[in-house]
Copies of this chain bind each other. A is one copy, B any other.
């Protein structure tokens, strides 16, 4: 694909994603997407064989970017400390920083948008979404187990669901943040998650 071709495809994906995040996938028509960009149907259907193909391309791209940032934040945490608990707390802090730096509410998570219209999509899309969640759970759980083995937990909490709580707080906070148009909600909740972990694993702070 030529450079120009890649650019057009990305432009379509960018515009479509922004529209999907505010109207849902079936609330966005191909006509509206191309109209907003000044390109034609010929261009659109050259890059995507149909609207479903756009749906797949959007979620695959989003999931990949999501995982990339996740892995990078984990790696940065592990570079900044040698202590497993501190590594995780730093990781959370990095996300806190990320969302604290936004001027307006995060436009929304594409994974969440798709889940709310789940019946429109095929199994591939569903698996792409679930793979993100399962990877996050798995990677965080792995680290929580190491922490639990090294620190006397004040409470006997369930670790898999404690791992899930990270993504759950983010998704829930995105929602409330978007509805109330309050940018602070996401970092606030991440702060609570950090405090929770500290209270579990650092008894005397």
Chain A stretch 115-147: residues in CB contact (< 8 A) with chain B: 115-120, 126, 129-130, 133-134
Contact (Cβ within 8 A) B27 A118: no
- Oligomeric state, in number of copies? 2
Interface string of A152-180 (1 = CB under 8 A from B): 00110110011011011111110110111
Does A25 have its Cβ within 8 Å of any Cβ on chain B?
yes
Contact (Cβ within 8 A) B176 A189: no
Q: Once the chains are docked, how many angstroms separate the CA of A112 from the CA of B178?
A: 10
Contact (Cβ within 8 A) B154 A199: yes
Q: Once the chains are docked, how many angstroms separate the CA of A134 from the CA of B157?
A: 30
Tell me if A's interface is mostly helix, strand, loop or mixed.
helix
For the complex with contacts A158-B188, A169-B169, 13 further pairs of A-B residues with Cβ separation under 8 Å are: A23-B26, A24-B117, A27-B117, A27-B119, A27-B120, A130-B179, A155-B195, A157-B195, A161-B192, A164-B176, A167-B172, A168-B175, A171-B172
Which of B113, B158, B161, B167 sits near A116, CB closer than 8 Å? B113
Contact (Cβ within 8 A) A158 B191: yes
Contact (Cβ within 8 A) A165 B192: yes
Contact (Cβ within 8 A) B133 A179: yes
Residue of B nearest to A161 (CB): B188
Chain A stretch 176-202: residues in CB contact (< 8 A) with chain B: 176, 178-180, 184-185, 188-189, 191-192, 195-196, 199-200
Does A22 have its Cβ within 8 Å of any Cβ on chain B?
yes
